[in-house]
Chains A and B, each alone.
Chain A
Amino acid sequence: MIPEIGHLLLIGALVVTFIGGCLPIYEFFSKKYYSQSYVRPFSVLTAFLVLGSLICLIYSFLVDDFSVAYVATNSNTLLPNYYKFAATWGAHEGSLVLWVLCLSLWLVGYMFSKRDVNDPFSSITFAIMNQVIFAFVLFTLFTSNPFERLLPFSPLEGGDLNPSLQDFAFTIHPPLLYLGYSGLALPFSLAIAAMITNNIDSLWARNARPWSLLSCAFLTLGIGLGSWWAYYELGWGGWWFWDPVENAAFVPWLISIALFHSLIVTERRGVFKNWSLLLSILSFAASLLGTFLVRSGVLTSVHAFALDPERGLFILGIFTYFVFGALLIYSLKNTKTQSESTYSLTSVEFGFLLNNLLLVVLAISIMFGTIFPLLYEAYTNGDQVSVGPPYFNVLILPFAIGLGFLQGIGLFLGWSDTKDFKFVNRLVIETLTMLIVINIILYFLFGSFNTGSLVACLLFSWIVSGNFLDIVINKRPLNKIKSFLNFRLGAIFAHLGIAFLVLGIGVVSSYSSEKELLLSVGESYDLDGYVFEFENLSSEKGPNYIADVASLKIQENAQAISLSSEKRNYLSANQVTTEVGIVADLFKDYYVALGENIEGDTWSFRLQVKPFVRWIWFGALLVAIGTFISSIKLLRKET
Chain B
Amino acid sequence: MKKIIDIAPLVVFVLLVLALFSFLQRDNNQLNSVLIDKNFPEFTLTQLEDEDIILSRSDISHFPAIVNVWATWCITCRVEHPFLLNLKKESKIKIYGLNYKDDRQKALSLLERDGNPFEFSIYDKEGSLAIDLGVYGAPETFLINSDGIIKTRHVGALTPEIWNKKFVIHLK
Contacts and interface: CB of A to CB of B under 8 A. Distances in A.
B9 A278 contact: yes
A384 B29 CA distance: 11
Contacts of B5: 274
A383 B36 CA distance: 12
B26 A327 contact: no
B168 interface: no
A375 B9 contact: no
A323 B24 contact: no
B1 interface: no
A255 to B, nearest CB: 13
Interface stretch (A47-55, A107-115, A206-214, A292-300): A292-300
A382 interface: yes
Task: Give the contact-size bracket for chain A.
Answer: 20 to 34
For chain B, which range describes its interface: under 10, 10 to 19, 20 to 34, or 35 or more residues?
20 to 34
A335 B7 CA distance: 13
Contacts of A383: 32
A330 B9 contact: yes
A327 B13 contact: yes
A522 interface: no
Contact of A298 (B13, B23, B31): B23
B24 A371 contact: no
Given A300-B29, A324-B13, A382-B32, A309 B6 contact: no
Contacts of A371: 19-20, 23
Contacts of A378: 19, 22-23, 26
B14 A331 contact: no
Contact of B10 (A298, A300, A327, A377): A327
B17 interface: yes
B164 to A, nearest CB: 20
B24 to A, nearest CB: 5
A374 B23 contact: yes
Interface stretch (A134-142, A313-321, A533-541, A615-623): A313-321
Nearest to B14: A324
A330 B20 contact: no
B31 A320 contact: no
A375 B21 CA distance: 12
Nearest to B5: A274
Interface in A2-49: none
Contact of B31 (A296, A316, A323, A384): A384
B2 interface: yes
Interface string A314-343: 001001100110011011000100000000
Interface of B: 2, 5-7, 9-10, 13-14, 17, 19-26, 28-29, 31-32
